[in-house]
Amino acid sequence: MTKKLNVLLVCGSGASSGFMASNIRKAAAKQNLEITIKARGEAEIENYIDEIDALMVGPHLAYILDEIDEYTAGLDVKVILMKPDYYATLDGEAALKDLLKEF
C-alpha cells in the first residue's frame, strides 16, 4: 500500500465505530501506515462516499449492503463487512488486517 487511505467506518449510530476507528488508527500507526478513518452512523454514508477509498460496515448492518451498492455504483470504493469476532472485541489490528486485504 503506497497511497494514503481514507476509510469510513459505520455502525448504527456511530458510537461503537468510534472506538473501533480509534483502535484501527493505533494499529495503523504501529505499522507506519497513512490511513484516515472517520466513524459515522449509517445515515451519513452518502455524505462521505465521494471522499473515501473504503467503507467498513458493522456486521449487524449486513442488511444495508444492497443500499450501499447503490451509493458506491461507479465509484472505486471497497466495501468491507466487518467480521463479528473482531468487531465485538473492537480488535483494531484484526480489522486493519481485514481492510488491508483489499488493497
Check which CATH number belongs to the domain holding 12 and give it: 3.40.50.2300
The range of the structural domain enclosing residue 39 comes to 5-100
If you search the block for the grid coordinates 459515522, which residue do you land on?
40
User: How would you write the pLDDT of the chain (103 residues) with one tens digit per residue?
Assistant: 557 999 999 987 657 788 999 999 999 999 999 999 999 998 999 999 999 999 999 999 999 999 999 999 999 999 999 999 999 999 999 999 999 999 9
> How many domains does the structure of the chain reveal?
1
DSSP 13: S
pTM of the model: 0.93
Residue 14 and residue 40 in contact, taking contact as beta carbons nearer than 8 Å: yes
Q: What is the pLDDT of residue 39?
A: 93
